[in-house]
Amino acid sequence: EIVLTQSPGTLSLSPGERATLSCRASQSVSSNYLAWYQQKPGQAPRLLMYGASSRATGIPDRFSGSGSGTDFTLTISRLEPEDFAVYYCQQYGNSPYSFGQGTKLEIK
């Protein structure tokens, strides 16, 4: 089973700043089958990125993803007020298709 560890647990930033979220896998993620989701309170998760670096439909270009193997990063270039939420990474290359524990992005 691939264990995904996200860091930091909480990130406190201001609107307009750059956010960098990390996701580390316990073993290599097949073909970079790594996705990122955003979840706001009381809502279902929303797909942001897949294949480590491809944006899902309708996701603004201030969101970008990078990485390969065991280390992946989600970057939000300039934070908007609506970006403050919890972010999860997920690997979909090997069953069980595990999620990281999440990074909470909060307003400073």
Partner 1 sequence: EVQLVESGGGLVQPGGSLRLSCAASGFTFSNSAMTWVRQAPGKGLEWVSGISVSGGSTYYADSVKGRFTISRDNSKNTLYLQMNSLRAEDTAIYYCAKGYGSGFYRWLFDYWGQGTLVTVSS
What minimum distance in Å lies between the beta carbon of 19 and partner 1? 18
Site for partner 1 in 33-72 (CB under 8 A): 33, 35, 37, 39, 43-47, 50, 56-57
Shortest distance, position 62 Cβ to partner 1, whole Å: 20
- Binding of partner 1 at residue 96 (CB under 8 A)? yes
Q: Starting from the edge strand earliest in sequence, which strands make up the sheet with 19-25, in order?
A: 4-7, 19-25, 71-76, 63-68
Residue 44 makes CB contacts below 8 A (sequence gap 6+) with: none
100 is an interface residue for partner 1 by CB under 8 A: yes
